[in-house]
C-alpha cells in the first residue's frame, strides 16, 4: 500500500528499479543523425510488434498523432474522428493548428464506431469540397471507459477506407491493453490501419515517449515533421532503453491492472451516491457518476490521500496501473464507503 494512491491516470507511473538500471546502462548516440543504437532498437522492436515496416520514437502520443495527421494529409483536407476522441478533445486543436485540416466527427456507441455513419460522412474531393483523406480510430477508447473496439469493426473501417482510397490512423495509446483484454495480438489491430501510435508512458510504465509506426516512406516523411515540431531528440537512447525494457517485461502484466479495475468496480457498486458506468470495466479504467459535484468527491478523496480524475461535473475516472497494488484497491474502496 502506498502513502498516496494515485488513480488519476496510468501516466503517473514511475520507472521500476530494473527499468532505471536499463536506462543507466543504455548505449546512446545522436538520434537526429539516426545513430542512437538504443532508439534504433526500440523503433525496430516496436515496428515488429505492430507488424509495420518502421517506427519512430516521439516524445508523446500527442506528437505521434500530430505527425500522423501531417503525414497522411494536406492542408484543407477533411479528417473523420470520433466526437469523443483524444485527438478531438485533448490535443489543443492540433488538427487545425498543426495539420491545417478540417474535422468531421462521428458518434460511437460506448466507444465503438458505427461504420455506416462513418460512410455517410465521407466527402469526395471536388471544386467545392475539400475531400476526406483520413479516418482516425482510438483503441482502447479513453472517454468510453477503456472500451476495446472489436477487430471486426477495425476490419470494416479498413474496407470502407480502401473503397474510398482513404488512410486509417490508429491512436493506439493503450493498444496493448486492448491486446491483453482480447487475446488478439496488437499487430492484428494495427494490420487494419496505415499507421499506428502507441504510448510507452501509460500502462507500460515508461517515464516518456510513444512510437509511431508505418511504412518506410511514411516514417521518413514523419521524421521530417518530427524535426519541424522540435521532437528531434539527441541522446534519447536513455529514454528508449526504458521503452525496450517495457516492451519485454510490462505487456503481459497489464492483465493485473485489468483485474484491479474489476475489483475496484465491484467494491464501488454499492457505495451510496455513486453510479458505475460499467460493472465490469473492459480494461484498466473505472468511470462512475456522482450525485455530489465530482470536484467535491475528489477533494474528499484527496483528503484521504486517494487521487482521481474529474472528467465532467458529475463524472470521475480512476485508472489502475503498475504502481497500484491490491492494498491500494482495498483502501480506495474503504475510503469511498466512508466519505
Q: What percent of the chain has pLDDT over 90?
A: 92
pLDDT at position 1 is 66
When the pLDDT of each residue in the chain is averaged and rounded to a whole number, the result is: 96
Strand partners, 170: 137, 196
Asked whether the predicted pLDDT for residue 108 surpasses 80, the reply is yes
Q: Which residue segments constitute the domains of the chain, with CATH numbers given?
A: 17-249 (3.40.640.10), 253-338 (3.90.1150.10)
Q: How far apart are CA 131 and CA 123, in angstroms?
A: 5
pLDDT tens track for 246-281: 999 999 999 999 999 999 999 999 999 999 999 999
pLDDT tens track for 193-216: 999 999 999 999 999 999 999 999
pLDDT at position 129 is 82
Averaged pLDDT, 116-133? 90
- Interhelix angle 237-249/37-50, rounded to 10 degrees, is 40
Exposure class string for 132-166: b at 16+ Cβ within 10 A, else e: bbbbbbbbbbbbbbbbbbebebbebbbebbeeeeb
pLDDT at position 79 is 97
6 half-sphere exposure, CB direction, 13 A CA radius = 11
Q: Which of 132, 139, 99, 100 is nearest to 118 (CA)?
A: 132
Write down the pTM of the prediction: 0.95
SS3 string, 244-309, reads HHHHHHCCCCHHHHHHHHHHHHHHHCCCCCEEECCCCCCCCEEEEEECCCHHHHHHHHHCCCEECE
- Interhelix angle 254-268/175-182, rounded to 10 degrees, is 80
Averaged pLDDT, 82-108? 91
Amino acid at each position: 500500500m502506498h502513502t498516496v494512491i494515485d488513480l488519476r491516470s496510468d501516466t503517473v507511473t514511475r520507472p521500476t528499479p530494473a527499468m532505471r538500471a536499463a536506462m543507466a546502462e543504455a548505449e546512446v548516440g545522436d538520434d537526429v543523425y539516426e545513430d542512437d543504437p538504443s532508439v534504433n532498437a526500440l523503433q525496430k522492436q516496436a515496428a515488429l510488434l505492430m507488424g509495420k515496416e518502421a517506427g519512430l520514437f516521439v516524445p508523446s502520443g500527442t506528437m505521434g498523432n500530430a505527425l500522423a495527421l501531417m503525414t497522411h494529409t494536406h492542408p484543407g483536407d477533411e479528417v473523420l474522428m470520433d466526437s469523443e476522441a483524444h485527438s478531438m478533445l485533448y490535443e489543443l486543436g492540433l488538427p487545425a493548428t498543426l495539420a491545417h485540416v478540417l474535422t468531421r466527427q462521428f458518434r460511437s456507441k460506448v466507444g465503438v464506431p458505427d461504420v455506416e455513419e462513418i460512410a455517410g460522412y465521407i466527402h469526395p474531393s471536388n471544386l467545392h469540397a475539400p475531400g476526406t483523406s483520413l479516418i482516425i480510430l482510438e483503441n482502447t477508447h479513453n472517454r468510453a471507459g477503456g472500451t476495446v473496439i472489436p477487430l471486426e469493426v477495425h476490419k470494416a473501417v479498413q474496407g470502407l477506407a480502401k473503397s474510398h482510397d482513404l488512410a486509417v490512423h490508429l491512436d493506439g495509446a493503450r493498444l496493448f491493453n486492448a491486446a491483453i483484454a482480447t487475446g488478439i495480438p496488437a499487430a492484428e489491430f494495427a494490420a487494419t490501419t496505415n499507421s499506428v501510435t502507441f504510448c510507452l508512458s501509460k500502462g507500460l510504465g515508461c517515464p516518456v515517449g510513444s512510437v509511431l509506426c508505418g511504412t518506410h516512406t511514411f516514417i521518413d516523411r514523419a521524421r521530417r515533421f518530427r524535426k519541424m515540431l522540435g521532437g528531434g531528440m539527441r541522446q534519447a537512447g536513455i529514454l528508449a532503453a526504458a521503452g525496450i525494457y517495457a516492451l519485454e517485461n510490462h505487456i503481459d502484466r497489464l492483465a493485473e491492472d485489468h483485474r484491479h479495475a474489476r475489483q475496484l468496480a465491484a467494491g464501488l457498486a454499492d457505495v451510496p451516491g455513486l453510479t458505475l458506468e460499467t460493472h465490469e470495466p473492459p480494461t484498466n479504467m473505472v468511470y462512475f457518476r456522482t450525485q455530489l459535484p465530482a470536484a467535491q468527491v475528489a477533494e474528499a478523496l484527496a483528503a484521504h490521500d486517494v487521487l482521481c480524475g474529474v472528467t465532467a461535473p458529475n463524472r470521475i475516472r480512476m485508472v489502475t496501473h503498475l504502481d497500484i497494488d491490491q492494498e491500494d484497491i482495498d483502501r480506495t474502496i474503504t475510503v469511498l464507503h466512508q466519505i
